[in-house]
Chain A
Amino acid sequence: MMAAPAISLLLACVGGLLALGLGAIGLAAIGLARRPRTGALIYAASGIVSLIAAAVALNALLSAGPPALATLPLGLPWVGARFRLDALAAAFLLVVDLGGAVASLYAIGYGAHEREPQRILPFYPVFLAAMNLVVLADDAFGFLVAWEVMSISSWALVLAHHKDPANRRAAHLYLVMASFGALCLLLGFGLLAGPGGGYGFDAMRGHPPAAGVAGLVFGLTILGAGSKAGLVPLHVWLPQAHPAAPSHVSALMSGVMTKVAIYAFIRIVFDLLGPPQVWWSVVALLLGAFTAVLGVLYAMMQTDLKRLLAYSTVENVGVIFIGLGLALAFKAENLALAAALAATAALFHVLNHSLFKSLLFMGSGAVQGATGERDLERLGGLIGRMPQTAFAFLVGAMAIAALPPLNGFASEWLTFQAVLVSPLLGTTALKFLVPAVGAMLALAAALTAAAMVRAFGVGFLGRPRSPAAQAARETDRWSRAAMFVLVGLCLAVGVLPGLVIDALSPVAQAMTAGRMPVQAGQAWLSIVPIAESRSSYNGLLVLVFIAASAGLAALAIHRFASRAVRRAPAWDCGFPDPSPLTQYSAGGFAQPIRRVFGGFAFAARDVVDMPGPGELRPARFTAIVRDRIWETLYVPIELAIGYAADRLNRLQFLTIRLYLGLVFLALVGLLLVLAIWV
């Protein structure tokens, strides 16, 4: 397919999604949206349209033709609505639409349980369309409009279950943070456009700003895109808003929308802003490292399954930003090959995270649908009751914990390869910083594994901790199909990383002007980022080894051990086990980590209330975990705004003469400004 029809087809897909949203509004108006079949129809149509768009994007990415342009007579009259499909946009469109297609498939089954589908159906296709438009936009105006539509439609989806006050609070916080992020991007684009007002991206690309202004735009972009992606300390809304939405939307928000924010960062910083400066990479690396470690530490502390996953998203965004920071550092020092390696690692992780985080959110949605519970302390034993969901969740958890041969390992390994070439860097600060960041990345990866062992072990193994978990049933066919599609993709991408790296190389080339060696020619499908003598990884070999050793072990056990199945009570330390609550709990699993890191990260304290001899009351143990970022950063801001609003409130109750006087003073003040400066 040629490039020009591709972009028209994509825009048609977007139009189709928008039409679906409007149609859903119409159906809701005449009361048809409550019927389960209507919901299934809309989700199926969204899924098919997304699948078509994903196929077009994949084709565009693989064919690697010149950028395709299109202009629609919308938007600003002198700019129009411009769209551009280049390698970067194609890669992110693939992530967006693949995620959208699978989430729609999942929603056909999951959405049937929805009590108020008319609150979700109109916004879901619009949300998908807006994410497509953000990636396709080629002028600042269209970009920001699409960005805001994306924010507002996802806000409406967060607010779908609005009867819960926690959800309302989450939605409010999300709206505030989204406005802040959009304001930062708006100012950034304003600076990029310059006094001439060239709002097309081609004009910005043609005239990159001077160093000082470019630094300012970089800062604004970090704030704007980072607040959407969930960079610490701008992440506070994310763990509240993502779990509040219905699970298929949570999967989209966590798996896909954060990627759109990363796209915004890449588009502005790597494409529009001209040559990078070294300090940008320092900022990105530091923020990425702190985001990765703090995100996973927070995830470790959560007992709400979806909130745990949302914090894990924060961690993965940190990992991606570490890759992008490395790419910036290498690009600033003209190390094109290393920059391409780091950029590829970041892009690869973008794809992987969208796959396994969608999978995990779908699994948690299936658990929630089956039990009505998200609290790990009330789950357990689900592997016997929901074996397929448990298997899918296990694969997702292993992938996110970066176990080979799954996809998470491949991209984190590539990121480490990029860290390991840091001795090439000339700047002394970076020479010291990058290994430290690598250490934090390793810490984050290890803690992720712990957090996922905890999530799976407490949630799916052991005995049920509540009657709801006891009564769980396997989820519906559509949901399972969606999860197994993602399981297959996680495995395929993990075993064949070379294909992905080759597909991403035009994107990395556009970002960094460098190109990784072509992987397709390597023997036995292994990947060699730089040279065979340095490092190589073969997912297929690992898979074969794991399969062979596991098969041999199983064979040996079944061959040489007794075949008889023996059921006996579990060992209970000599006490008859009265309650499933005596099992190892999520809180107990997290305690060692809380002991080690909690002091500085959470101001965590354990309070033990031990009754004296002879007292009859029970002993109590309370673990206090506080959110230091919220307390030190957001509470003061909240107080300051409240204080200022109280003071300004008096302006509502002045006398007429004082109002006139204020108008008069404002006029005189402006005239004075005119008299002095003009």
Chain B
Amino acid sequence: MTGLSFDVAHLLAGGLVLMSFTLLYQDRLSALINVFALHALVLALAVAWQAYVQHAPHLYVTAVIALAFKAIVIPLALHRIIRQLGIHREIETVVGVGPAMLVGIGLVALSMVVMLRVTEDADRLAREDLAFALSVVLLGLLMMVIRRNAVGLIIGFMSLENGLVLAAAGAKGMPLVVEISVAFSVLIAFIVIGVFLFRIRERFETIDIEALDRFREARE
């Protein structure tokens, strides 16, 4: 792999991690959705670059799916939903921004240490890529843990899934990458639009997931 293609791949994967951090501290819902769109756009670029570098045309399909579906359709739909629900001006966080960022940095360091050590004999690009992808996954999980709002939860889940797609695309010769990304996208579409928001709204008149806990008779 030449220097330039490596650097560009590195840049795009790093950009994805950066976007994950941005997601982490974004407490306005509409801005959160916009950042997610950007997250998906960076992912699409990264996958497309991998397709170009690896001469794997099927990866272009994944990139187009990421672009069209996650960077355009889902953000537009989410904007529509929060406007319909009248929560587009809401602000919500659970953990403060500072601690969240610190934990996030720790997670990135952890994934670097783990991945670089475990994959010593792998391809250099794949190693970096896997480390970044694991960081994105962990940051997405962190976001799911610290958000209270269902929209935040879903965006956390989708950014986690973006990390998985990045890992799949970066690992050269991995089979069924396209299929996996399609399957995930369908899954997310179902969660986002079909079931989650409207059901919660219908039943509990709110999309705060604490309402679900009340329903389950949470005992803390």
Q: Is chain B a partner of chain A in the same complex?
A: yes
| Cβ–Cβ contact A678 & B219, under 8 A | no
Contact of A671 with B by CB under 8 A: yes
| Cβ–Cβ contact B144 & A660, under 8 A | yes
Cα(A675)–Cα(B134), bound, Å: 13
* Chain A CB within 10 A, most for which of B113, B142, B145: B145
| Cβ–Cβ contact B216 & A660, under 8 A | no
| Cβ–Cβ contact A678 & B117, under 8 A | yes
* Chain B CB within 10 A, most for which of A657, A661, A667, A678: A657
With a cutoff of 8 Å between Cβ atoms, the chain A residues found around residue B213 in the complex are 655-656
> How many chain A residues touch B (Cβ–Cβ < 8 Å)?
17
Residues of B167-220 whose CB lies within 8 A of A: 209-210, 212-213, 216-220
Contact of B118 with A by CB under 8 A: yes
- Given A667-B138, A668-B138, is A656 in contact with B209 using a C-beta cutoff of 8 Å? yes
Residues of A656-675 whose CB lies within 8 A of B: 656-657, 660-661, 663-664, 667-668, 671-672, 674-675
Residues of B71-126 whose CB lies within 8 A of A: 94, 107, 110-111, 113-114, 117-118
Smallest CB gap from B148: residue in A: A657
> How many chain B residues touch A (Cβ–Cβ < 8 Å)?
23
Summed over the interface, the residue pairs from A and B with CB atoms below 8 Å come to a total of: 46
Per-residue interface assignment for chain A, residues 617 to 661, with 1 indicating a CB less than 8 Å from any chain B CB and 0 otherwise: 000000000000000000000000000000000100111110011
Contact of B64 with A by CB under 8 A: no
Contact of B141 with A by CB under 8 A: yes
Cα(A671)–Cα(B110), bound, Å: 7
With a cutoff of 8 Å between Cβ atoms, the chain A residues found around residue B117 in the complex are 674-675, 678
Cα(A501)–Cα(B110), bound, Å: 68
- Given A650-B219, A656-B213, A657-B209, is A671 in contact with B144 using a C-beta cutoff of 8 Å? no
Q: Which of B113, B212, B216 contacts A653 (CB 8 A)?
A: B216
Cα(A654)–Cα(B145), bound, Å: 13
- Given A660-B144, A664-B145, A675-B110, is A655 in contact with B138 using a C-beta cutoff of 8 Å? no
Q: Report B100 CB to chain A, min CB distance, Å.
A: 13
Cα(A553)–Cα(B80), bound, Å: 112
With a cutoff of 8 Å between Cβ atoms, the chain A residues found around residue B216 in the complex are 653, 655
| Cβ–Cβ contact B110 & A661, under 8 A | no
Cα(A675)–Cα(B109), bound, Å: 10
With a cutoff of 8 Å between Cβ atoms, the chain A residues found around residue B218 in the complex are 653-655
With a cutoff of 8 Å between Cβ atoms, the chain B residues found around residue A675 in the complex are 110, 113-114, 117
| Cβ–Cβ contact B210 & A655, under 8 A | yes
| Cβ–Cβ contact B219 & A656, under 8 A | no
Main secondary structure of the interface of B (DSSP, over half): helix
Smallest CB gap from A665: residue in B: B145
With a cutoff of 8 Å between Cβ atoms, the chain A residues found around residue B209 in the complex are 656-657
Q: Which of A654, A660, A674 contacts B141 (CB 8 A)?
A: A660
| Cβ–Cβ contact B110 & A672, under 8 A | yes
With a cutoff of 8 Å between Cβ atoms, the chain A residues found around residue B118 in the complex are 674, 678
Cα(A675)–Cα(B119), bound, Å: 12
With a cutoff of 8 Å between Cβ atoms, the chain B residues found around residue A656 in the complex are 209, 212-213
| Cβ–Cβ contact A663 & B141, under 8 A | yes
Cα(A655)–Cα(B213), bound, Å: 5
Q: Which of B114, B145, B217 contacts A661 (CB 8 A)?
A: B145
Q: Report A5 CB to chain B, min CB distance, Å.
A: 51
With a cutoff of 8 Å between Cβ atoms, the chain A residues found around residue B107 in the complex are 668
Cα(A298)–Cα(B123), bound, Å: 70
Cα(A667)–Cα(B219), bound, Å: 24
| Cβ–Cβ contact A657 & B220, under 8 A | no
| Cβ–Cβ contact B114 & A664, under 8 A | no
Q: Which of B94, B142, B220 contacts A664 (CB 8 A)?
A: B142
Q: Report A646 CB to chain B, min CB distance, Å.
A: 13
Cα(A655)–Cα(B216), bound, Å: 8
Smallest CB gap from A661: residue in B: B145
With a cutoff of 8 Å between Cβ atoms, the chain B residues found around residue A653 in the complex are 216-219
Q: Report A559 CB to chain B, min CB distance, Å.
A: 90
* Chain B CB within 10 A, most for which of A656, A661, A678: A656
| Cβ–Cβ contact B114 & A671, under 8 A | yes
Q: Report B203 CB to chain A, min CB distance, Å.
A: 15
Cα(A657)–Cα(B217), bound, Å: 14
Q: Report A129 CB to chain B, min CB distance, Å.
A: 46
Smallest CB gap from B219: residue in A: A653
Q: Report A657 CB to chain B, min CB distance, Å.
A: 6
Cα(A298)–Cα(B114), bound, Å: 59
| Cβ–Cβ contact A655 & B142, under 8 A | no
Q: Report B142 CB to chain A, min CB distance, Å.
A: 7
With a cutoff of 8 Å between Cβ atoms, the chain B residues found around residue A668 in the complex are 107, 110, 138
| Cβ–Cβ contact A667 & B141, under 8 A | yes
* Besides A653-B217, A660-B141, A675-B110, 4 other A-B contacts (C-beta < 8 A): A655-B213, A656-B213, A657-B145, A668-B138
* Pairs of residues from A and B, 6 with the lowest C-beta to C-beta distance, nearest first: A655-B213, A653-B219, A675-B113, A661-B145, A675-B114, A655-B218
What is A's interface to B at a CB cutoff of 8 Å? 650, 653-657, 660-661, 663-664, 667-668, 671-672, 674-675, 678
What is B's interface to A at a CB cutoff of 8 Å? 94, 107, 110-111, 113-114, 117-118, 138, 141-142, 144-145, 148, 209-210, 212-213, 216-220
Q: Offer 24 A-B interface pairs, CB within 8 angstroms, sorted by A.
A: A650-B219, A653-B216, A653-B217, A653-B218, A653-B219, A654-B218, A654-B220, A655-B220, A656-B209, A656-B212, A656-B213, A657-B145, A657-B148, A661-B145, A663-B141, A664-B141, A664-B145, A668-B107, A671-B111, A672-B110, A674-B118, A675-B110, A675-B113, A678-B117
